[in-house]
Amino acid sequence: MVSVRQKKQSTTRSWLFVILFSLSMGLALSLAIWGIYWLWCETSRAHLFAFRRVRVVMDAQHLQDQQITELVKAHLQGGFFSLRTQSLREALVSEPWVAGIELRREWPDLLEVDIEEQRPVARWNATQLITAHGKLFIPEKNTIPQNLPRLLGPPKTEEQVLDNFLRFQEWLSPLNMKIVRLELTKSRSWLFVLESGLEVQLGHQHVEERMKKFVAVYPDIIGKNKLMALRIDMRYPNGIAVRWN
């Protein structure tokens, strides 16, 4: 009786193993077939609905349509319904002059790429440019506009220097004067240079008060003799010092 029972248990285990093995093989085969089908669908869909035209839309001075178009085509993956945007976006924003992008699809085969170019307001130190929002970027040397004002300062002070530059320039605008250079020295002293070549020392204390004082006294003290004035020192508590040519 014991022998018969053991034989039945052995037979049951064998059949259970066969069933589990068959189910596992069936599942593996199903997954393989599904994977092949998915790959075929993706490939067919990308081929059938591939982008055949690229339109670049931008108002740019330092980016070329052909340059962007070639970059898009080199990193274009997928079709109308399966466009993979990540690698394309990464390739475009890696261009220093690209500030932002927007992708649009137009049926049946057009990809429109809207490019926003960086708008620098000044140069920062030796090789960088800075936008009105304080964003720094490093373009190719031969694309740096030489007519931009120059801002200088220690590391991590670009936002502070930019903020003062924009405020100072606003105060100087009624006098038709433009700053061509603004510097925050290592000792945290401020100075700027105007288009006429006039250098103005503000020091490191009461900077805003001294700047407003400069704007107030400039018409009477310098006035029509602006080309004769070389340097003004605003650091004196009860007056100013002017060096004439």
Distance CA 76, CA 87 (A): 8
Name the burial class of residue 215, with classes exposed (0-12), middle (13-18) and buried (19+) by CB atoms within 10 angstroms of its CB.
middle
Residue 205: CATH number of its domain:
3.40.50.11690
Query: Residue 225: what pLDDT?
Result: 77
Counting Cβ atoms within 10 Å, is residue 243 exposed (0-12), middle (13-18) or buried (19+)? exposed
Instruction: Mark whether 96 and 19 lie in a shared domain.
Output: no
Single out the residue in 86, 117, 148 at which a domain terminates: 117
The answer on pLDDT for 236 being more than 90 is yes
Q: What angle do CA 214, 122, 245 make, to 5 degrees?
A: 40
User: Which band of pLDDT confidence, cut at 50, 70 and 90, is reported for residue 9?
Assistant: low
Mean pLDDT confidence for 64-78: 85
Looking at the structure, tell me whether residues 79 and 165 fall in a common domain: no
| Alpha-carbon torsion angle 84, 85, 88, 94, nearest 10 | -140
Residue 44 pLDDT greater than 50, yes or no: no
Check whether 2 has a pLDDT greater than 50. no
Q: Select the more confidently predicted residue: 38 or 185.
A: 185
CA 88 from chain centre, in angstroms, equals: 15
User: Are 139 and 194 in a shared domain?
Assistant: yes
Q: Are residues 140 and 200 in the same domain?
A: yes
Number of folded domains that form the chain: 3
Residues facing 244 on adjacent strands: 229
CA-to-CA distance for 179 and 196, rounded, in angstroms?
Answer: 9
Last residue of a domain, one of 117, 136, 170: 117
CB-based contact 201:191 (threshold 8 Å): yes
Same domain, 96 and 180: no
Q: What is the pLDDT of residues 114-147, one digit of tens each?
A: 999 999 999 999 899 999 999 999 999 999 999 9
Q: Which domain holds residue 83?
A: 53-117
Classify residue 4: in a domain, yes or no: no
Model pLDDT, residue 242: 93
In a domain, residue 3? The reply is no
Whether residue 136 sits in one domain with residue 148:
yes
| pLDDT band, very low/low/confident/very high, at 39 (cuts 50, 70, 90) | low
- The confidence score (pLDDT) of residue 227 equals 74
Answer whether residue 164 is part of any domain: yes
Mean pLDDT of the chain: 86
- Specify the pTM: 0.75
Confidence of residue 206 (pLDDT cuts 50, 70, 90): very high
For residue 162, the one-letter residue type is L
Among 107, 39, 34, 113, smallest CA distance to 69 is for 113
Q: Look at residue 83 in the predicted model and tell me its pLDDT.
A: 79
Same domain, 145 and 225: yes
Q: What is residue 82's predicted lDDT score, i.e. its pLDDT?
A: 67
Q: What angle do CA 11, 13, 16 make, to 5 degrees?
A: 110
pLDDT in tens, 151-168: 999 999 999 999 999 999
Please give the pLDDT value at position 174: 95
Q: Are residues 145 and 37 in the same domain?
A: no
